[in-house]
């Protein structure tokens, strides 16, 4: 039984990991919206069935918050829907599919990760069918749902705002109660901080993160504060001539309020160092 937790009157989310990333659904009067399709078509189908059942309306739209594979590998289940993403997300998906998802690479990955044998046996990589840049509003009758592109976690990242319920669906712009994944080569810590500011400004009553439990505005503030302190510290170190290797060895970096996965932290430091160095050099 696929579990959907009620977030607000018209929003539900799955945060238990069956789809790997969190997925959410939003009920409009006559149709439904799914946010992200998860890691594989099998769990995506379960998510869609559960969402349509709980909402009592058919899904008409699928929003992709960004291009990472754990958010888009169930897309084929929504081929009859409008699949909406930012232009940058579409480009990143096209690039990713042609570079990293060739038949050969996929076969090799499955051979090395047998748990994907069943999950991905019928995988059809599916691109968005509706593209926007900057922001977009899904409007039906007097109802609307807003999509706002911020970048940050990766190029093309967007979040979703449901005004009538005052709910933010953050995608991977928010990892609740865990260290954020910042290993994408297009990560931009400055834009990520700005994205947090925007989401906080909306004063949402509830927040659906890309990973981790349902949460609140305060969690965004916690994550933003950490990233701000980290960026400031790395800026200072870059100005002092600290190398990336030296940065990874530092023991005086700002303390993250939850358990730290060292590998994840190193990924974020590695990619943020590059972005911050570029910014510092351009001042
Ligand atoms: Zn992601």
Convert the pLDDT of each residue in 239-251 to its tens digit.
Answer: 999 999 999 999 9
Alpha carbon of 179 to ligand 1 centroid (Å): 12
* Residue 256 confidence (pLDDT): 97
Q: d(Cα 228, Cα 245) in Å, to the nearest integer?
A: 21
Is 50 a member of any domain?
A: yes
Q: Would 229 be classed as within a structural domain? A: no
Check residue 283 and give its pLDDT.
73
Residue 26 lies in a domain: yes
Q: Domain range for residue 31?
A: 5-222
Instruction: Give 183 Cα–ligand 1 centroid separation in angstroms.
Output: 9
Give the C-alpha distances (Å, rounded to integers) separating 86 from 77, 133, 176, 214: 20, 5, 24, 25
pLDDT at 9: 98
Question: Which residues lie closer than 8 Å to 231 by C-beta, 6 or more apart?
Answer: 189, 190, 193, 272, 276
* Stretches in the chain below the pLDDT threshold 50: none
Could you tell me the distance, in angstroms and rounded to a whole number, from the CA of residue 142 to the centre of ligand 1?
A: 32
Ligand 1: distance of its center to the CA of 33 in Å? 20
Separation of 60 CA from ligand 1 center, angstroms?
24
- Ligand 1 center to 267 CA (angstroms): 13
Contact at 8 Å (CB) between 180 and 222?
no
> What Å distances lie between residue 177 and 43, 174, 256, CA to CA?
24, 9, 10
> Has residue 279 been placed in a domain?
no
Query: Which of 256, 258, 235 has the alpha carbon at shortest distance from 247?
Result: 235
State the distance from the centre of ligand 1 to the C-alpha of 141, rounded, in angstroms: 32
How many A from CA of 27 to the centre of ligand 1? 24
How is residue 196 written in tokens? 């947090």
State the pairing for strand pair 82-86/59-63. Answer: parallel
Rounded CA-CA distance 172/166 in Å is 19
Please check whether residue 226 is in contact with residue 257, taking contact to mean a CB–CB distance below 8 angstroms: yes
State in Å: Cα 70 to ligand 1 middle. Answer: 7
Expressed in angstroms and rounded, the spacing between residue 212 Cα and the centre of ligand 1 is 13
- CA 165–ligand 1 middle distance (angstroms): 25
- Residue 160, domain member (yes or no): yes
Strand-pair partners of 207: 168, 215
Q: How far is CA 98 from CA 31, 119, 243, in A?
A: 33, 21, 33
Residue found under tokens 């981790």 = 212
Ligand 1 centroid–CA 191 distance in Å is: 15
**Overall number of domains in the chain:** 1
> How far apart are the CA of 203 and the centre of ligand 1, in A?
23
Decide if 242 is inside a domain: no
* Alpha-carbon 188 to chain mean position: 14
Determine the distance separating the centroid of ligand 1 and the alpha carbon of 128, expressed in angstroms. 17
In a domain, 260, yes or no: no
CATH code for the domain in which residue 205 is found: 3.60.15.10
Does any domain span residue 250?
no
Residue 29 CA to ligand 1 center (angstroms) comes to 30
- Picking from 143, 151, 161, 208, the residue whose alpha carbon sits closest to that of residue 182 is 151
How far, in Å, is the centroid of ligand 1 from the Cα of 241? 31
Check: pTM over 0.85? Answer yes or no.
yes
């Amino acid at each position: 039984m696929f579990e959907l937790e009620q977030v607000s009157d018209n929003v539900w989310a799955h945060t238990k990991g069956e789809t790997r990333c969190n997925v959410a659904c939003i009920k409009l009067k006559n149709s439904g919206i799914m946010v992200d399709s998860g890691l594989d078509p099998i769990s995506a189908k379960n998510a869609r069935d559960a969402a349509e059942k709980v909402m009592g309306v058919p899904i008409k739209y699928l929003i992709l918050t960004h291009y990472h594979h754990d958010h888009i590998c169930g897309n084929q289940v929504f081929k009859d829907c409008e699949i909406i993403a930012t232009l940058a997300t579409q480009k990143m998906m096209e690039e990713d599919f042609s570079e990293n998802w060739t038949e050969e690479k996929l076969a090799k990955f499955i051979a090395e990760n047998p748990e994907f044998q069943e999950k991905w046996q019928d995988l059809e990589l599916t691109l968005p069918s509706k593209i926007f840049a900057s922001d977009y509003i899904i409007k039906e009758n007097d109802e609307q749902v807003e999509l706002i592109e911020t970048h940050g976690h990766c190029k093309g990242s967007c979040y979703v705002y449901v005004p009538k319920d005052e709910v933010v669906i953050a995608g991977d712009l928010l990892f609740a109660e865990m260290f954020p994944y910042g290993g994408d080569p297009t990560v931009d810590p400055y834009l990520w901080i700005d994205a947090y500011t925007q989401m906080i400004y909306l004063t949402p009553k509830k927040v659906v993160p890309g990973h981790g439990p349902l949460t609140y505005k305060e969690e965004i503030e916690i994550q933003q504060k950490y990233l701000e302190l980290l960026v400031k510290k790395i800026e200072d170190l870059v100005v002092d001539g600290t190398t990336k290797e030296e940065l990874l060895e530092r023991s005086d970096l700002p303390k993250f309020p939850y358990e730290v996965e060292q590998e994840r932290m190193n990924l974020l430091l590695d990619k943020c160092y590059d972005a911050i160095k570029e910014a510092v050099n351009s001042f």
